[in-house]
Amino acid sequence: MSVVLSVRDIRVSYGPTQALRGVTFEVPGGAVGLLGPNGAGKSTLIKAILNLVPLSGGRITLMGQDSGALGPALRDRVGYVPEREGLRPGMSGVGWVALLGELSGLPRRSAVERAHEVLQYVGLEESRYRNVETFSTGMRQRLKLAASLVHDPVLVLLDEPTSGMDPVGREEMLELCRDLVKQGKTLLLSTHILKDVEALCSQVVILHEGQVLAGVTVEDWTRSEAQHFLVQWEGQGQAFEEACRGRGWTVEPRRDGLIKLVLPVGEGPRAVFQAAREAGGGLNRFVREETSLEELFLSALNRNGANHAGL
Amino acid sequence: MPVYEQGYEAYTGERKPLGRRWIPLFRDELLPYFKKRRFVFLLMLALLPWVYGIALTFLHTQLGDAQWAKELVGQLPKVDEALVAKLMANGFDLFLLLVVCIWVGSGLVARDRRDRTLEVFLGRGLGAGQYLWAKGAALGLFLLLFSLLPTLVLVVFQVGLTGDAGWIFVHSRVLWGSLLYTVVGLGSLTVFVLALSSLGRSPRAVGLVLVGIVFFGDVACGILYGITRNPAIWFFSVAKELEVLACRCLGAPPPHFISLPLWLSVLFFAGLAALSVVVLFLRFARRGVLQ
């Protein structure tokens, strides 16, 4: 698969503060989540891709073309959904989207037609003639998505698109994003809502203090991390728990008689059954607990805090 | 049921070349003002002196030879460089020009910074140069309504009513003097307002600073002049500099108490423009305007 976006060793400084310190990753296509705590550099990275902040070093290429060299021409192929505001009070929804379409090179008539199309697509056809300041938070986010799609970009950069939205609006927004991925669009989703990434993205890039902590597919990441199991031992006494502890696993007995086991990377169900056999019994119940992205994210951050070797 | 009922469709139509992207932004900046009644009234008010100028043209060309009106018309001022200078740089029109300048100019960039639409615009296929050109052109066009455009209308009336284009050659300074005043004076003022607007996030705050510089600066110069009686004090007054520039460009004598030489006025506006360009360059090239 050809790479849509390639970011190579980019550095951005605000005065003495280094906001991005040698960030490198590639976006092959689909939806990619950009995760990180507040101040990690997510918004700065998006602005760097859009050439809205000057780079101190590094290179960004979009579909193989250098973004710095092509400048505005290349930005015609990128859509941007800013986190805050980004709308002109006093303008109608359709007027705003059409204006941005024109700024991306669409002739006036086509821009207006296209604005109606994308507003219908995001579900704002009923409100398109209302002034943008009368829109609710969810409607504003959808309007910004429509504005980012009006010129039919290849890559859409979404900065906290579900921020401040109610659960229904959030789900609708994610559904739109999923549909866009199906249509062949590439999305780079910056968020701190891990469930959004879990629901939408096939790949994640974790930023922390301006550096990439991890850049992997969600599947690989889940596989590479510690595994959690819930088991019920058929035998009596502490023999099984001691056997597990002896292997260096984390053991958490629960009130309902189940035992939670946390196994390090590389060990799997076979080892659990072997431990039970060694303890002189079998297992009545064995359930693999799904590790949430949140747990993985926190574990990655904690590990980075303990030693800066990264993932 | 998904929120969208119509699937996403790709756009396959034409795209305009990059060089013309500023036009929609220029239109977007300009048109809303024509929907504001107070603003339109202000513009109409500013054109009143020019209506007087056109009336003079009519009287001189149509009734100048009539026996019964000859004496009366002869007492009226003639349409020449001195009259155009008075029409262009009278206190009333200069006041309205500066009011329009502040009204339109204070929000040019500051409003986009406040609403965070600047990053949306610059994130499109619109370079910073085109963005600034669109904003400056919108303000510049309004300022043209106070200078070159009514002058041209006056010239058209003069030539049209007499049926003789020779007037243009005799009074050629009306045209090139107005052009010089527009380019040097109003061009510098436009760039200055644009630069000042890029420094703030609140159009109101930028407007207040502009009021301070333009009107309170003028008052302060007046007080200092009253104390010192030194005409050089007016060097720091934007309104008086414009008045002197208009008079000098059109070869008319400026009011005696502000008789600054032309080169000093040109220096003032050139310095203002240069400073503003540097500010704009630093703000936009280093992207500080997006912070």
Residue A166 at interface with chain B, using a CB cutoff of 8 Å: no
Q: How far apart are CA B3 and CA A121, in angstroms?
A: 8
Query: Nearest-CA distance from B205 to chain A in Å?
Result: 18
Q: How far apart are CA A274 and CA A244, in angstroms?
A: 10
Residue B7 at interface with chain A, using a CB cutoff of 8 Å: yes
A 10 A CB-CB count for A189 gives 26
Sequence spans of domains, chain A: 5-219, 226-290
A 10 A CB-CB count for B163 gives 7
Contacts of B115 in chain A (CB under 8 A): 85-89
Contacts of A71 in chain B (CB under 8 A): 127
Contacts of B290 in chain A (CB under 8 A): 47, 52-53
CATH of domain A5-219: 3.40.50.300
C-alpha distances (whole Å) from B75 to each of A45, B81, B95, B174 are: 72, 17, 28, 22
Nearest-5° angle of CA B257, CA B262, CA B268?
A: 90
Query: Nearest-CA distance from A194 to chain B in Å?
Result: 22
Buried b (16+ CB within 10 A) or exposed e, A122-155: bbbbebbeebbeebeebbbbbbbbbbbbbbbbbb
Question: Per residue in B211-222, pLDDT tens?
Answer: 888 888 888 988
- Contact flag B125-A86 (C-beta cutoff 8 Å): no
The contacts of residue A268 (CB under 8 Å, 6+ apart) are A227
B52 falls within a domain: yes
Query: Nearest Cβ partner of B16 from A86, A90, A105?
Result: A105
Q: How far apart are CA A92 and CA A287, in angstroms?
A: 54
Quick check: B125 pLDDT over 80? no
C-alpha distances (whole Å) from A75 to each of A86, A154, A177 are: 17, 10, 20
B7 falls within a domain: no
* A169, closest residue in chain B (CA to CA): B3
Q: How far apart are CA A310 and CA A65, in angstroms?
A: 30
- Average pLDDT (B151-155) is 90
Query: Nearest-CA distance from B281 to chain A in Å?
Result: 14
Say which range, A2-11, A240-249, B5-14, B122-131, has the weakest mean pLDDT.
B5-14
- Contact flag A179-B7 (C-beta cutoff 8 Å): yes
**pLDDT at residue number B40:** 92
Quick check: B154 pLDDT over 50? yes
B10 falls within a domain: no
Q: Which CATH number fits domain A226-290: 3.40.1000.10, 3.40.50.300, 3.30.70.100, 3.30.365.10?
A: 3.30.70.100
B114 falls within a domain: yes
Query: Nearest-CA distance from A244 to chain B in Å?
Result: 48
**pLDDT at residue number A308:** 37
B75 falls within a domain: yes
Residue B19 at interface with chain A, using a CB cutoff of 8 Å: no
**pLDDT at residue number A70:** 61
Range of the domain at B96: 20-290
* B1, closest residue in chain A (CA to CA): A172
The upper half-sphere exposure of residue B239, i.e. CA atoms within 13 Å in the direction of its Cβ, equals: 24
B12 falls within a domain: no
Q: Are A242 and A215 in contact (CB under 8 A)?
A: no
Contacts of B1 in chain A (CB under 8 A): none
- Contact flag A176-B3 (C-beta cutoff 8 Å): yes
B14 falls within a domain: no
Report residue A175: phi and psi, to 5°: -65, -40
Q: How far apart are CA A230 and CA A251, in angstroms?
A: 10
**For every one of its 311 residues, what pLDDT tens digit does chain A have, with 9 covering 90 and above?**
578 888 898 998 888 888 888 888 888 888 898 888 788 888 889 988 888 888 888 888 888 888 766 677 788 889 999 988 889 998 999 999 999 999 998 999 999 999 999 999 988 888 889 999 999 888 899 999 999 999 999 999 998 888 888 888 888 888 889 999 988 899 999 987 777 887 888 888 888 888 887 666 666 665 656 677 888 888 777 888 888 888 888 888 888 888 888 887 677 788 888 888 888 888 888 887 766 666 666 666 666 654 433 33
Query: What SS3 state is found at A263?
Result: strand
- Average pLDDT (B11-30) is 88
B24 falls within a domain: yes
For chain B, how many structural domains are there in total?
1
